[in-house]
Amino acid sequence: MTGRLRLEGWKRAYAVVLCLVVLAAGGIAWTQWQGRAERSVTLLGNWTGADEARFKKEVLEPFEAEHGISVVYQGSSAESQVLAADVEAGAPPDVVIMPGPGELAEYAALRRLKPLDGLFDPDHYGPMWTPRIAGGVYWVPVKVDLKSMVWYPAAVPEADLPALARKPGEWCLALESGATSGWPGTDWVEDVLLQQAGWRKYQDWATGKLSWKDDAVRQAWETWGGLVGAGDRKRVERALLGGFADPWGGERPTCTTQRLEHQASFVRAGGHWSAAEGRYVHSKALIPRARKDLTAWEVSGDLAAMLRDTPEARALIRYLADPGTARLGFTANRAVPEGAYAEDPAEGGNGSGKGGNGSAKGGTGSAKGGTDPTKGAIDATLRGRGTMRCWDASDAMPPAMRDAFHQAALRFLADPAELPERLAVLEELRVRHRGAAWLPAVCGES
């Protein structure tokens, strides 16, 4: 009996000791996790797939190694919806990278963003890229792209482009983009308005001061419809289902023999334009009734903003704005040395490993020494002083206006006869959102 009691007592003692060991181990593990959490930063972006992998490898991993801070990255093609849900739940990411300033301006007006003053040198960017709103600077460009571009194969003489542009079947058009489907169409309308009416009227429209029923706005829609064949059932069906990222690829490509594409600078790294030794002209050369006395370029950008002011979030913002940080594409940072894009050693473009656009004739790359004059020209347009640049209007508009614009582009392409109804709906929405956080300006040349 005594032996059994001793055995039971030993078992109880062992159990108590085991529990204490488990609790101690748990406490140590919790402390270590807590330590990692204190040296981590959460980041929400819209880069997924190959772009996400490249961003992590070339930007985030070096940051983690240099600062000892873990980056918890979430990429989503429905970034706006994810961010809205996180903010509503009281659990926003520390840092977000979003395409365009419109949605960020709304969060800044709601005091959801933290000012970035002191985290980077504002002289490295023009005021169009990093404006002061609501008492501070709330975003900094991480990656930018040039628009107002029409791409064509090197084999096509530039003199032939105006005649080709008058044939709807020569335009590659693909509008599918998940939750943001329609934006390649809004890019068209915006650019046509910019080239036909000039940047001042464009700015009034993009900042909510000009009616959607204005004759210049209506003419921009009609011009786009005429160029690309709006209302042509077969063509529209292909365009609505075609993915913008690679309309030339896949088993059933949206685009096959077309020789023109109105798209931003990111397409230069894609397989099609690489093989075609793609070149570009300013869109005003091909848009009917474009003003020849003015030159303005539409631009876009992925902007980093801070929702939680922590040392780790500040460190990440500083790193993303540092001119020495690896670039995923073009930059607006003037502190990056001039000619940084002249050398193109096996550059992967938009996540591609094909070495840029490889033109042996100096169009979008060169086989001799890796020089790339097209890349240098794009860089100069994006960063040079004295060049009029205007934000992609839909990216600069309040989210509700932007989303309705995307939907209107899809509907107009299918049935251009309904344009008056589409513009009336958009105008009603503009009036209803007069008190929203419209940007004070979207154009600038400094």
Instruction: Look at residue 446 in the predicted model and tell me its pLDDT.
Output: 75
Q: CB under 8 Å to 12, separation ≥6 — which residues?
A: none
Q: State pLDDT tens for residues 56-87.
A: 999 999 999 999 999 999 999 899 999 999 99
Instruction: Look at residue 365 in the predicted model and tell me its pLDDT.
Output: 35
DSSP letter (8 states) at residue 252: S
- CA dist., res. 147 & res. 127, Å (int): 19
Instruction: Look at residue 327 in the predicted model and tell me its pLDDT.
Output: 87
Instruction: Look at residue 371 in the predicted model and tell me its pLDDT.
Output: 62
Instruction: Look at residue 238 in the predicted model and tell me its pLDDT.
Output: 94
Contact yes or no for 104/139 (Cβ under 8 A):
yes
Q: Which amino acid is at 26?
A: G
Instruction: Please spell the DSSP secondary structure of 7-69, one letter per residue.
Output: HHHHHHHHHHHHHHHHHHHHHHHHHHHHHHHHTEEEEEES--HHHHHHHIIIIIHHHHHHH--
Instruction: Look at residue 32 in the predicted model and tell me its pLDDT.
Output: 32
pTM as predicted? 0.85
Residue 30 tokens, joined: 């919790």
Q: State pLDDT tens for residues 350-386.
A: 333 332 333 322 333 333 334 678 999 999 999 998 9
Instruction: Look at residue 129 in the predicted model and tell me its pLDDT.
Output: 96
- CA dist., res. 118 & res. 81, Å (int): 30
Instruction: Look at residue 134 in the predicted model and tell me its pLDDT.
Output: 85
Tens digit of pLDDT per residue, the chain (446 long)? Answer: 434 333 344 334 434 433 433 333 333 322 333 344 469 999 999 999 999 999 999 999 999 999 999 999 999 989 999 999 999 999 999 999 999 999 999 999 999 999 999 999 989 998 999 999 988 999 999 999 999 999 999 999 999 999 999 999 999 999 999 989 999 999 999 999 999 999 999 999 999 999 999 999 999 999 999 999 999 999 999 999 999 989 998 888 999 999 999 999 999 988 999 999 999 999 999 999 999 999 999 999 999 999 999 999 999 999 999 999 998 899 999 999 876 654 443 343 333 333 233 332 233 333 333 467 899 999 999 999 899 999 999 999 999 999 999 999 999 999 999 999 999 999 999 999 999 999 999 999 87
Neighbours of 129 (CB within 10 A): 26
- CA dist., res. 303 & res. 301, Å (int): 6
